[in-house]
Amino acid sequence: MIRFVDVHKSYRVDGRDIPALQPFSLEVADGEVFGIIGLSGAGKSTLIRLINLLERPSGGTIFVGDTEMTALAEPALRAQRRRIGMIFQHFNLLASQTVADNVAFPMRLAGERDAAVLRQRVDELLARVGLTDHADKYPSQLSGGQKQRVGIARALANRPSILLCDEATSALDPQTTASVLDLLAEINRELKLTIVLITHEMDVVRRVCDRVAVLDAGEIVERGSVIDVFLHPQHATTKRFVNEALPEETIGDEAAFARVPGRILRLSFRGDATWTPVLGQVARDTGIDFNLLAGRIDRIKDMPYGQLTLAMQGERIDAAMSALRKAGIEIEELRP
Amino acid sequence: MTTHAIHATPILQALFPNIDDWGEIGHACIDTLLMLGGSLLLTIILGLPLGVLLYLTGRGQLRPMPKLYAIASLLVNILRSVPFIILMIVLMPVTYFLVGTKLGIRGAIPPLVIGAAPFFARLVETALREVEHGVIEASQAMGASLWQIVRHVLLPEARGGLLAGVTVTAIALVGYTAMGGAIGSGGLGDLAYRYGYLSYKSDYMLVTVALLIVLVQLLQMLGDRVVAYYGRR
């Protein structure tokens, strides 16, 4: 578990303190994929660097497992850092070393000298990231996606319990991004690794994260399970991120809705509710009519979900609504 | 000075009438190469740590120490701003103290090293600054100590720049060794000064200059090759 307690951070610039992160507390559970999303300058790269203390907080305490990171002296901190892997937007590989030597590097830093042990572990890691044939190449001979795979193999070398991803897919094209995210999800599942990632793309959060925190100008403005945040974004920044990732198909804006008679409802389906023909059944049973105004259907990580905005007309709308709720559908009334 | 003079073929004799002992020129070449090799080695041994120190203690670097940086930087600048020929004369007592003579190859090496090491240290500092910050940050995240970062990240990653720096320094040292000739350190510069300048034997001057050009060319070519082979891939 990673725990921030009343942590804040400001930078001293020309004798003045410039706040980068407002005081916050946050917990990341073991084995989850936790996303931190924000625009550039929101403070997300500062936040992720607080975990391995590449950035020191101006106040508050940070725990990784039972260890109070903020209380550690240099040598103990270095030992802890070896148990936290990190990958970067620009990969940060050693240009002068081969792929195999890059992957072996953290083990060598940790004092492993046995060539056979190193070789075996490097082979194992390169097999995991699908780069077995590239062991003797130099980073400059690899594509961006391959470089990030080397970064992942390197980060896993010392068998960490936590992996930090600093905009790990931001320099990659969409297809490569998808394959790197799949790899991260696989590592999370198979190695039970806790992953904290920062990104400015909601799509990254949607594909791999279990929970998300939205950072806006140094402040966590929203947090929760990814599906809740996607279905019911509260803060303006969150809404913008959600809409960028999954634009709603709609007949028009609020003004267009005004021309439609009936009560306007937004129905959110998730998981099992998406598999049953519940809307049709309820409409037949209660004799209501509905008119679709907007909607989206997608998956969040492994969970399918849908969201429909519709205008409902008929005598027994309340009965229909309670039947829908009973079937596990969330309803927001946009216009009673 | 050779005891058995080596006499030239008639053609060479016609071209360079004043040069009656080519062996002396060969001897001077060897002296120059010895001074160059010895001083280059010592310059690297002294200049590399000094350059690393300048890099590490600089503003915003891994171990910022403004006062230490200011002192080291000032020292480097002072040594670099004194023209070498003057530095050599100023350093004579120090040279005598260090090697017991002010003359010959041994007497030339201390001023050469003291003149070139600060220059090389600046080149080292610049080369290290070229190493991407991200790579250093990544190694910190992996739990590397400062020494591990210097030894296993900074120096290997800056290898191309460092080798280019060695080449530039070697060529600067060729110039310095030639100047050393003026105050009796031997080598090609000494030959050019004594025969070419003081005795008006301009053919000596011509041969010496030609040999120095060849030496510099060879060093640059060698340096470029080494940089291309070991530099960033």
Q: A79 CB near a chain B CB, below 8 Å?
A: yes
Residue A164: its chain B contacts at CB < 8 A?
Answer: 141
Distances (CA, A) of A219 to A37, A98, A238, A281, A284: 11, 41, 13, 45, 48
User: Are residues A109 and B159, on separate chains, in Cβ contact within 8 Å?
Assistant: no
Separation between Cα atoms, residue A220 and residue A47, nearest integer Å: 11
The shortest C-alpha distance from A179 to chain B (Å) reads 23
The verdict on a CB contact (< 8 Å) between B141 and A93 is: no
Residue A92 Cα, gap to closest chain B Cα (Å): 5
pLDDT band at B99 (very low <50, low <70, confident <90, very high): confident
Cβ <8 Å between A108 and B139: no
pLDDT tens for each residue of B196-225? 777 777 888 888 889 989 999 999 999 999
pLDDT in tens, A76-117: 999 999 999 999 999 999 999 999 999 999 999 999 999 999
Q: Which of B62, B136, B142 to mutate to test the interface with A (most CBs of A within 10 A)?
A: B142
CB contact under 8 A, B137 and A80: no
Q: What is the mean pLDDT of residues A229-252?
A: 86
Q: Which residues of B touch A110 (CB under 8 A)?
A: 143
Count A/B contacts: CB-CB distance under 8 Å.
66
Per-residue model confidence (pLDDT) at position A270: 86
DSSP chain B: --SSPPPPPHHHHHHSTT---HHHHHHHHHHHHHHHHHHHHHHHHHHHHHHHHHHHHSTTSSS--HHHHHHHHHHHHHHHHS-HHHHHHHTHHHHHHHHS-SSHHHHHHHHHHHHHHHHHHHHHHHHHHTS-HHHHHHHHHTT--HHHHIIIIIHHHTHHHHHHHHHHHHHHHHHHHHHHGGGT--SHHHHIIIIIIIS--HHHHHHHHHHHHHHHHHHHHHHHHHHHHHS--
ipTM: 0.86
Give the distance from residue A162's alpha carbon to the nearest chain B alpha carbon, in angstroms.
Answer: 12
Query: What is the 8-class DSSP label of residue A272?
Result: G
Contact B112, B46 (CB under 8 A): no
Whether A95 and B233 lie within 8 Å, measured CB to CB: yes
Closest chain B CA to residue A80: B143
Cross-chain residue pair A80–B139, CB shorter than 8 Å: no
Question: Residue A119: is its pLDDT beyond 90?
Answer: yes
